[in-house]
């Protein structure tokens, strides 16, 4: 039997190179050998966009277009929208009874995001509880694997804690623990070199960016501030251009040669940025062209069909959960 993968993204903006370098390419490869469910997590996106829901709803089809343009095939991967499967919310409520406030507050990923967003004493409960919602999403599909970056491992750990607590409380094996599937490409740093690539920080390259915009952003990239002259030795560590070359330039031998040349001096920032720009343009042009060919009606039909199929799976699990708890009437 194929292993089940649950993955997805929040539709708070178009997808960018950070997504493509890790999770998106993996999804395209894994869909041939695994049963894959891809969730557009609009409810979770509302946890920090509750006062601007249009930002979420307007990007649902944008994310769908990104999925299809990189090669995700809706005939073998099921793409669905979270809010249209109410059973996921019901499962979240059950799981809330199994997790303490203190445990949620100790989740290092949540703590870091709370600090980043500056919530402090104005923390919405929905945001604090989104790891429970994620656990509901994962277990509703009996997922075996969840693609995750290192920063998301505490979420997987919390899901498995809920699974064990549920199964122990109700003396069942209704829920299944899940394993993380770590990408070979670490999370990309932003083009400004200050933080991880993020649409909210406006420091990333989007898959749908025009060629001129890609070039503009590449030539804005942070390099080595002490590399003032071409003849000066330069640092590769923390140099955003080399980070992106590592992730996207196909000729790894050439990258190693460029690094050595840069470190000993004699290689300018303009040259390495030009090489990166050529690489990204070649990679993103067919993705952009595919995206432009997609029609709204086509995207909606795929989303409706995928959500309908996904809900049938979740309905079976929620019936099992109700039966185990004993609330079937």
**What pLDDT is recorded for position 22?**
65
Residues 113 and 101 sit within 8 Å (Cβ to Cβ) = no
For residue 178, the 8-state DSSP code is -
Calculate the alpha carbon distances from 164 to 98, 257, 313 in Å. 10, 50, 22
Residues 66 and 40 sit within 8 Å (Cβ to Cβ) = no
**What pLDDT is recorded for position 117?**
78
Residues 60 and 42 sit within 8 Å (Cβ to Cβ) = yes
* Segment holding 181, helix H or strand E: strand 179-182
CATH architecture of 4-188+296-325: 3-Layer(aba) Sandwich (3.40)
Among 96, 59, 51, which Cα is nearest to 81's? 59
Residues 187 and 147 sit within 8 Å (Cβ to Cβ) = no
Distance between CA atoms of 251 and 89, rounded to whole angstroms? 46
Domain boundaries, the chain: 4-188+296-325, 209-291
**What pLDDT is recorded for position 186?**
65
Among 151, 135, 52, which Cα is nearest to 96's? 135
Distance between CA atoms of 218 and 206, rounded to whole angstroms? 12
Say which residue the tokens 């989007």 belong to: 206
**What pLDDT is recorded for position 5?**
85
For residue 76, the 8-state DSSP code is T
Same fold, 4-188+296-325 and 209-291: no
Calculate the alpha carbon distances from 207 to 8, 131, 147 in Å. 16, 28, 20
Say which residue the tokens 């929208």 belong to: 81
| Cβ neighbours for 271, distance < 8 A, ≥ 6 positions apart | none
CA 304 to chain centre: 22
If DSSP codes are grouped into helix, strand and coil, which group holds residue 97?
coil
pTM of the predicted structure, to 2 decimals = 0.88
| 205-216 as b/e: b if 16+ CB within 10 A | bbbbbeeeebbe
pLDDT values of the chain reduced to their tens digit, one per residue, 329 residues: 578 888 888 888 888 887 776 678 888 888 999 999 999 999 999 988 889 999 999 999 999 999 999 999 999 999 999 999 999 999 999 999 999 999 998 988 888 888 877 787 788 888 889 999 999 999 999 999 998 877 788 899 999 999 999 999 999 999 999 999 887 666 788 888 877 777 767 788 999 999 999 999 999 999 999 998 999 999 999 899 999 999 899 899 999 999 999 999 999 999 999 999 999 999 999 999 999 999 999 999 999 999 999 999 999 999 999 999 999 88
What's the CATH fold of domain 209-291?
Answer: Tyrosyl-Transfer RNA Synthetase (1.10.240)
If DSSP codes are grouped into helix, strand and coil, which group holds residue 191?
coil
| Cβ neighbours for 220, distance < 8 A, ≥ 6 positions apart | 191, 192
Helices first, then strands: H and E counts in the chain? 16, 5
Calculate the alpha carbon distances from 329 to 172, 174, 319 in Å. 20, 19, 11
């Amino acid at each position: 039997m194929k292993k089940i993968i649950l993955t997805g993204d929040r539709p708070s903006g178009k997808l960018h190179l950070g997504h493509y370098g890790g999770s998106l390419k993996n999804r395209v490869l894994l869909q041939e050998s695994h049963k894959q469910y891809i969730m557009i997590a609009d409810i979770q996106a509302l946890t920090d966009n509750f006062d601007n829901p249009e930002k979420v709803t307007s990007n649902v089809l944008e994310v769908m277009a990104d999925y299809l343009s990189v090669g995700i095939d809706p005939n073998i991967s099921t793409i669905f929208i979270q809010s249209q499967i109410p059973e996921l919310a019901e499962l979240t409520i059950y799981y809330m009874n199994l997790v303490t406030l203190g445990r949620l507050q100790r989740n290092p990923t949540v703590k870091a995001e709370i600090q980043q967003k500056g919530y402090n004493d104005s923390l919405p409960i929905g945001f604090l509880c989104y790891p429970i919602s994620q656990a509901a999403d994962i277990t509703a599909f009996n997922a075996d694997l969840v693609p995750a970056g290192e920063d998301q491992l505490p979420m997987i750990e919390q899901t498995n804690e809920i699974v064990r607590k549920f199964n122990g409380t109700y003396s069942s094996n209704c829920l299944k623990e899940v394993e993380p599937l770590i990408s070979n490409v670490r999370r990309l740093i932003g083009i400004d070199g200050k933080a991880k690539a993020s649409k909210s920080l406006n420091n990333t390259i989007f898959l749908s960016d025009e060629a001129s915009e890609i070039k503009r952003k590449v030539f804005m990239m942070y390099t080595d501030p002490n590399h003032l002259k071409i003849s000066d030795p330069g640092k590769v560590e923390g140099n955003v251009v080399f980070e992106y070359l590592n992730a996207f330039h196909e000729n790894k031998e050439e990258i190693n040669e460029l690094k050595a040349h840069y470190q000993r001096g004699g290689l300018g920032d303009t040259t390495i940025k030009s090489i990166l720009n050529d690489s990204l343009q070649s990679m993103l042009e067919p993705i952009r062209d595919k995206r432009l060919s997609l029609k709204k009606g086509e995207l909606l039909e795929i989303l409706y069909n995928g959500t309908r199929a996904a809900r049938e799976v979740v309905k079976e699990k929620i019936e099992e959960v109700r039966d185990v708890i004993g609330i079937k009437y």
